[in-house]
Amino acid sequence: MQLFTEVSCKTPPFQLSHRDKILLMGSCFSIEVGEKLQKSKFPVLVNPFGTLFHPWAVETALSRIYTLQFYTENEIFHYQDLYFSWDHSTLFSRPKLTETLTNINEKLEIAHEHTQQSHVFVFTLGTAWVYELKKAKITVGNCHKVPSSQFHKFLMSPAEIFKALKNCVEICLDLNPEAKIIFTISPVRHWRDGAHDNQLSKSSLFLGLEKVLEDYPQAVYYFPSYEIILDELRDYRYFKSDLLHPNETAINFVWEKFSHLFFSSETLNLNQKVETLNQAMAHRPRNPNTLAHRKFLYDTLKKAEKLSINFPTGSFDEEIKILKEKIHHVY
């Protein structure tokens, strides 16, 4: 007896390895995937502009990273004792203009350097609804709790979405002609828009993205996180208390699907070894001064050193340093 409908995933035209530098941008779902990749020791950079929801916001951020166009003081705004950028999330807001500007430009430079060597780009799209600041006639990536009366809200058309996403793909391919590009649509429902408007938004994203997939079949892949959460799981027990965001069980389920699609058996094996090491690092003994614990630390150190050979230089430097300090302290 089958009690759920399984979402079938097309075989991607490429696979990912721990040697691939990865950039993830978009809605909060990209953070969930990014954290899983980070824990598995993939060289990743997640949302260097903070959480972004609509395609124009992602396109703007990627363009600024690509051209290394630093932000200037006239692009920083002030509201309720905080300075911010309309292109960034509230994570970058600071009480001083110089702090905000410095933080934004430092992250921009880091992102630029990362993308120059990136092999994989992952974009998670959250909504097609856009807010335009009436006074300045500019679309914003985040409203920063400014009153809604100061914005004009409108829905991006599939054609506008296609153009924005195509520009993102072209930037990625210019950075790396062999780039692997993954798009996914966030399963998080934007309930403030209402049930109907949320569906219009997600549908527009699907329509705009479909043309991109048709035009770049070898470089671009669609991962169905939206369908997996809302069709295959289809139960509120897989959501957090707000009933909108997937919970840890759902994220783990999606991650497992993602892993078996994009990772070879060798990469999956390395992920398992990293997870085992992470569990060992998290171990807290009742008595750290026993001979057994000393041996445990030494064995874990040797495992970390051996495992590091299969990863980019420096991937396990922190773990090795911590273990050596603990061994020195114990002895």
What burial class does residue 310 get, using C-beta atoms within 10 Å of its C-beta: 0-12 exposed, 13-18 middle, 19+ buried? Answer: middle
Mean model confidence pLDDT for the chain: 93
What single-letter amino acid sits at 215?
D
- Three-state SS at 2: coil
Least confident of 70-79, 170-179, 260-269, 280-289: 280-289
Q: Beta-carbon neighbour count of residue 67 at 10 Å?
A: 10
**What pLDDT does 317 receive?**
92
* pLDDT band of 267, cuts 50, 70, 90: very high
Q: What is the pLDDT of residues 209-263, one digit of tens each?
A: 999 999 999 999 999 999 999 999 988 999 999 988 899 999 999 999 999 999 9
* pLDDT band of 330, cuts 50, 70, 90: low
DSSP codes joined into one string, 54-113: SHHHHHHHHHHHHHT----GGG-EEETTEEE-TTS-GGG-BSSHHHHHHHHHHHHHHHHH
77 φ/ψ sector (left φ>0, alpha ψ -120 to 50, else beta): beta
- Three-state SS at 226: helix
Per-residue pLDDT for 329 more than 90?
Answer: no
**What pLDDT does 190 receive?**
87
Please give the average per-residue pLDDT across 68-95, as a whole number. Answer: 95
**What pLDDT does 15 receive?**
93
**What pLDDT does 29 receive?**
82
Query: pTM of the prediction?
Result: 0.92
Q: What percent of the chain has pLDDT over 90?
A: 80
**What pLDDT does 250 receive?**
93
Please give the average per-residue pLDDT across 287-315, as a whole number. Answer: 89
Question: Which residues are registered as beta bridge partners of 124?
Answer: 26, 184
Please give the average per-residue pLDDT across 43-65, as a whole number. Answer: 97
* pLDDT band of 331, cuts 50, 70, 90: low
Q: For residue 121, how far is the Cα from the chain centroid? A: 10
Q: What is the pLDDT of residues 154-207, one digit of tens each?
A: 999 999 999 999 999 999 999 999 999 999 999 998 888 889 999 999 999 999
DSSP codes joined into one string, 149-197: GGEEEEEPPHHHHHHHHHHHHHHHHHH-TT-EEEEEE-----GGG-HHH
Return the structure tokens found at 282: 């998290």
